[in-house]
């Protein structure tokens, strides 16, 4: 998928762990991990809103469209 998730970089900049984000946002660690690794197929606006509120960032800080980026899941082809 040509949309890359940059959650790892934003968390590092904020010096926050995925576990801490999970607690603050109220989203399971497993679901955040799926998002962080780029395996998520979709994200709800309410989830994106909650993450942006906690990390004090914009959606564009978390997501990036890259032309020609390939699917990370071999089963999706």
For 45-68, how does the pLDDT look when each residue is reduced to its tens digit (9 = 90+)? 999 999 999 999 999 999 999 988
Q: Could you give the domains of the chain? A: 3-68 (1.10.260.40)
Q: Which two tokens stand for residue 43?
A: 């994200």
What's residue 71's pLDDT? 55
Q: What is the pTM of this model?
A: 0.83
- pLDDT surpasses 90 at 1: no
Q: Can you point out the beta strands (E) in the chain?
A: 3-5, 63-65
For 22-36, how does the pLDDT look when each residue is reduced to its tens digit (9 = 90+)? 999 999 999 999 999
- pLDDT surpasses 80 at 3: yes
């Amino acid at each position: 998928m040509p949309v890359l998730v940059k959650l790892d970089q934003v968390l590092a900049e904020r010096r926050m762990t995925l576990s801490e984000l999970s607690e603050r946002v109220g989203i399971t660690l497993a679901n955040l991990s799926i998002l962080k690794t780029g395996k998520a197929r979709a994200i709800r606006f309410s989830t994106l809103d909650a993450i942006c509120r906690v990390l004090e960032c914009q959606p564009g800080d978390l997501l990036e469209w890259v032309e020609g980026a390939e699917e990370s899941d071999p089963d999706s082809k």
